[in-house]
Amino acid sequence: MKIDYGPLKGLIADINITEVMVNAWDRVFVESAGIITEVQNRFVDERQWNEFIQQILHHCGRRQASEALFFDGILPEGHRFNITLPPSSMTPTLTIRKFRNKHMTLDDLVKAGSLSDKAARFLDAAVKARLSIVVSGGTGTGKTTILNSLAACIPGNERVISIQDVPELKLPLRNWVSIVTVDQPKTLSARDCLVNSLRMRPDRIIIGECRKDETFEMLQAMNTGHEGSMTTIHASTAQDALIRIESLMMYASFEMPIKVLRFQISQSIDLIVQVHRTASGKREISEIMELTGMENDTITRAPIFQRDKKGILAPMGYVPECLKKIHEAKIELPSQFF
């Protein structure tokens, strides 16, 4: 059964539109090139709008229940959707995040200006050398796109388990298992999925986004035989990402001294890749930072790449400590590179 998108059909088909936001039957907005505008597409009335919402829920195997007011899922075209229902919102709302059929590689990101050639070469080497990476950024900055591009660099002979709330990752790997959290009828959290994934003999684990108490298990996995694992986190800067990770671990009620907690972070994560969206709407990597260890109670870190005055993601002249691990993986990347 296909979904009849009605007045949204042209918006779904338009490759230049990245997001469709319906606040009510007569209020439709789209995002294109990073700019949000209201469009004239309308449903006939509120009844048609409610029927359309139920059509999506029915197609995706979701049924409206009194206790369920939020719904996430994937449309047949592969786009992610979120639905809210009254009384949580005044009227049903629909947000569709559109995804490309072809996922972007690091080379594609270089061509798009989101990444420099040198930084792409370094990240490719970092993934192949099994460095553990956190992609940090705000809402709509392209964290999942970057994570997909990095994961595509994983060698094909490795077993990868991914854990997501909504299956957005598309990896070109034969030995890849995608696990999705479940809300109904039985709750299966990201932490539950992660704990189970450790029994599935993964070489690497990828979590779509660390939000709750799965953060602790993810760091443990990175530090105990699953190097090269990756995740994303919601933070505006690389420094904020460390604070966010620390807060999530404390939120999970793990009673440990702050110094021990920070040591765990410093030993588990090798790189933080910070992404942001410019004023013009362009999504790009703004910084690549290395965690180097601990000094007293502080996690030590150093920027490897940052945007220069010309806006180019350029090396900072710092030779990262992780270069040793890259060389051990027999990947040629001279110190003069930086």
Burial of residue 240 (number of CB atoms within 10 Å: 0-12, 13-18, 19+): middle
Give Cβ neighbours of residue 261 (< 8 Å, ≥ 6 apart): 246, 249, 250, 254
Work out the percent of the chain whose per-residue pLDDT is above 90: 63
Identify the weakest region by mean pLDDT among 75-79, 296-300, 318-322. 75-79
Work out the percent of the chain whose per-residue pLDDT is above 70: 96
Higher-pLDDT residue of 167 and 276 is 276
Per-residue tokens: 311: 């806006």
Per-residue confidence (pLDDT) for residue 268, from 0 to 100:
94
The CATH topology of domain 106-337 is Rossmann fold (3.40.50)
Find the mean pLDDT for residues 136-145. Answer: 91
pLDDT at 63 over 80: no
CATH class as words, domain 6-97: alpha beta
Structure confidence at residue 66 as a pLDDT band (50, 70, 90) = very low
Find the mean pLDDT for residues 12-37. Answer: 93
H/E element, 273: strand 271-277
Per-residue confidence (pLDDT) for residue 213, from 0 to 100:
75
Q: List pLDDT tens digits, range 151-186.
A: 999 999 999 999 998 788 888 899 999 998 877 666
Q: List pLDDT tens digits, range 204-236.
A: 999 998 887 788 888 888 887 899 999 999 999
Domain ranges of the chain: 6-97, 106-337
HSE-CB at 199 with a 13 A cutoff on CA atoms is 4
3-state secondary structure of 23: strand
Per-residue tokens: 118: 């040198």
Per-residue confidence (pLDDT) for residue 65, from 0 to 100:
46
Identical fold at 6-97 and 106-337?
A: no
- Furthest C-alpha separation in the chain: 65
pLDDT at 64 over 80: no
HSE-CB at 40 with a 13 A cutoff on CA atoms is 0
Per-residue confidence (pLDDT) for residue 242, from 0 to 100:
95
Q: Could you give the CA distance from residue 181 to residue 172 in angstroms, rounded to a whole number?
A: 22
Nearest to 243 by CA among 230, 257, 258: 258
Output the CA–CA distances (angstroms, integers) from residue 113 to 16, 283, 288, in the order listed: 17, 9, 16
Q: List pLDDT tens digits, range 70-86.
A: 888 889 888 889 999 99
Find the mean pLDDT for residues 113-119. Answer: 94
pLDDT at 67 over 70: no
Give Cβ neighbours of residue 162 (< 8 Å, ≥ 6 apart): 151, 169, 171, 176, 177, 178, 179, 205, 206, 207, 208
